[in-house]
Structure 1
Amino acid sequence: MTSDDTDDDAAPTYTAEAEHRGVATKLFTLLEAVAAAPDGISVREVARETGIDKSSVSRIFNQLAALDVVEQSPLTGRYEVGRRLSSLGEVLHTHNSLWGLAEPIVRDLVARFDETCYFIVREGNQARFQERIDCRQAIRYVIEPGVVSPLYAGAAGRAILAGMPPEEATKYLEEVDVSPMTSETVIDRALLQKFVEQDRERGYSVSLGERVAGGRGIGAPVLRADGYCVAAILWTCPSTRFDLTRVEEFGAAVREAALKLSHLLGYSADAA
């Protein structure tokens, strides 16, 4: 610990508002301060810059250090980004990098059919709607970015399941708490297993109102170089515009878009 952390000659000034801010706000503020300091930052510096009292800063840093979110240098006593915070940053960077590669591919898919398409990222055993490119139609299938969905419901989730190793997908379906999201949600585990196997064979998934009533979706998995399913591309439209006679055409287009992105990520069916 350095003298910088124990010197009380110039006590930090802070407002009543800073004193009463919520724990979550303080936590996020401290994480931002650490992330912005490549050489680390001391308790006193953080207190001075943020207006949070030193005792709170020290207490929160100690808790974060115990979780490996930050780490304290044994030589300088300054706090630096820890293993878990670094890993989180890598995940966020990967998501942003993925969309940079995916955007022109998804945009081409929207232009081809004039229907709204989504880029969905896999977060463990969930699917997060990350980005959306809208069509020009007045009536659209709209889900706001940030929405999280289970893998068993909807074309995007099932596409991710189909992109997972069969034993992993089976284990998920055996353990997940299956509950209906609409009247069309498939909740029979044996039937879900058959759908996933079918989806894996043809390379895309089809949902007829399983996640959103009145919606139709076709999704395909995106795989990285090691074969891990990281995302899905989802084509959508309202049920009133869905042409069942063109499902294979739509599915093939979504599958090819996802495969193109997978190749950009280094995926090869021969190497996987």
Structure 2
Amino acid sequence: MLKTLDNALELLEYFTRENPTWGVRELAKEMDMSHSIVHRILTTFESHGFLIQNQDTKKYELGTKLWEYGSIIRDNLRISDVIFPIMQRLSAETGESVFLTWLDYHEGICVEIAESPQKLKYAVSIGNRTPLYAGASNKAIMAFLPAEDQEAIIAKGLKPVTGKTVIDPAKLRDDLTVIRRNGWAYSVGEYSDSIFGIALPLFSNKGEVVASITLAGPEYRMPKSKVPDVLDTMRAKRDEIEACLHKMSFSYTSGRRAGG
């Protein structure tokens, strides 16, 4: 029974932004699993609203039930009520986009964004999942994870997102050491070409890293010489956000798997 549940949950993880739809046979091949088992799992999820089947292509995609659960999580985090106004003030003061990346096992997930008021700006979609080794928002989290989690992420393989993504394990470890020592991360073009990112980690009241707050925009607007001044503003807002999290007694690391 537990094996069946594990297979079913693993199957859901294949529905990503990059691969949002799957046919039965192609998914069975990708998972190296029996066609009949995959079909049974898909139809079960469909019957409960977690997946829907496109009647024209016969492929499956995520259903509205998962969107409902996502909305519940955002409400429980009280992002819109408490954290989002702080992000808006940071965006207004700096003129750049601000986004909140939450730790979900070995990935980051964007849960809120306050867009820059400028015409040329960096935009990211809420719900977007990203690898923890690519870009300031993710590396600011990864740097403060336990060493065994960092090594597990590296062991899965480092794939380039852009030409500047750090995919050499030794270089990545060095970067994480510097970020951990400095307490913040800065990158240009590691996740999106010609886009800078400045990120600070967010910690629970138990001292666990749970998220990061990131300022991002076109590279030309943020040379490294300007970073120290911006960091002072970001740290003040970071402290406000962490204070809110601590008042809510928020102290878990989202998606942390036992033994993972």
TM-score, length of structure 1 as denominator length? 0.62
Structure-2 residue corresponding to 1:191: 171
Aligned to 1:212, what secondary structure does the other structure show? coil
Structure-2 residue corresponding to 1:163: 144
Cα distance 1:184–1:90, how it changes in 2: closer, same or farther (>3 A)?
closer
Aligned-pair CA distance for 1:265: 2.3
Unaligned runs of 5+ in 2: 1-42, 51-65, 248-260
Q: Contact 1:99–1:119 at 8 Å: present in 2 too?
A: no
Aligned to 1:132, what secondary structure does the other structure show? strand
Q: Distance in 2 between matches of 1:258 and 1:197?
A: 21
Aligned-pair CA distance for 1:151: 0.2
Amino acid at match of 1:198: V
Structure-2 residue corresponding to 1:114: 95
Corresponding residue to 2:134 among 135, 153, 156: 153
Calculate the aligned-residue CA RMSD, in Å: 2.7
1:78-109 per-position Cα deviation (integer Å, ceiling 9, x unaligned)? xxxxxxx9xx7998267632453321221121
Structure-1 residue corresponding to 2:38: none
Q: Contact 1:224–1:230 at 8 Å: present in 2 too?
A: yes
Task: Verify: 1:180 aligned to 2:160, yes or no.
Answer: yes
Q: Distance in 2 between matches of 1:131 and 1:205?
A: 19
Q: Distance in 2 between matches of 1:160 and 1:130?
A: 15
Q: Distance in 1 between matches of 2:200 and 2:76?
A: 17
Give 4+ residue runs of structure 1 displaced > 6 Å after superposition.
Answer: 88-91
Q: Distance in 1 between matches of 2:115 and 2:92?
A: 10
Q: Distance in 1 between matches of 2:186 and 2:179?
A: 8
Amino acid at match of 2:156: V
Q: Contact 1:116–1:237 at 8 Å: present in 2 too?
A: yes
Structure-1 residue corresponding to 2:39: none
Amino acid at match of 1:210: E
Cα distance 1:209–1:90, how it changes in 2: closer, same or farther (>3 A)?
closer
Task: Verify: 1:26 aligned to 2:47, yes or no.
Answer: yes
Unaligned runs of 5+ in 1: 1-21, 30-84, 268-272
Q: Contact 2:83–2:244 at 8 Å: present in 1 too?
A: no
Matches within 5 A, 1:16-95: 23-28=44-49, 92=73
Matches within 5 A, 1:130-149: 130-149=111-130
Aligned-pair CA distance for 1:115: 0.6
Which structure has the larger Rg? Answer: 1
Aligned-pair CA distance for 1:110: 0.5
1:5-40 per-position Cα deviation (integer Å, ceiling 9, x unaligned)? xxxxxxxxxxxxxxxxx65442128xxxxxxxxxxx
Cα distance 1:261–1:117, how it changes in 2: closer, same or farther (>3 A)?
same
Q: Contact 2:74–2:111 at 8 Å: present in 1 too?
A: no
Q: Contact 1:163–1:223 at 8 Å: present in 2 too?
A: no
TM-score, length of structure 2 as denominator length? 0.65
Q: Distance in 1 between matches of 2:171 and 2:208?
A: 24
Q: Contact 2:106–2:153 at 8 Å: present in 1 too?
A: no
Task: Verify: 1:245 aligned to 2:225, yes or no.
Answer: yes
1:206-263 per-position Cα deviation (integer Å, ceiling 9, x unaligned)? 1110000111111111111111222111100111222221112223333342233223
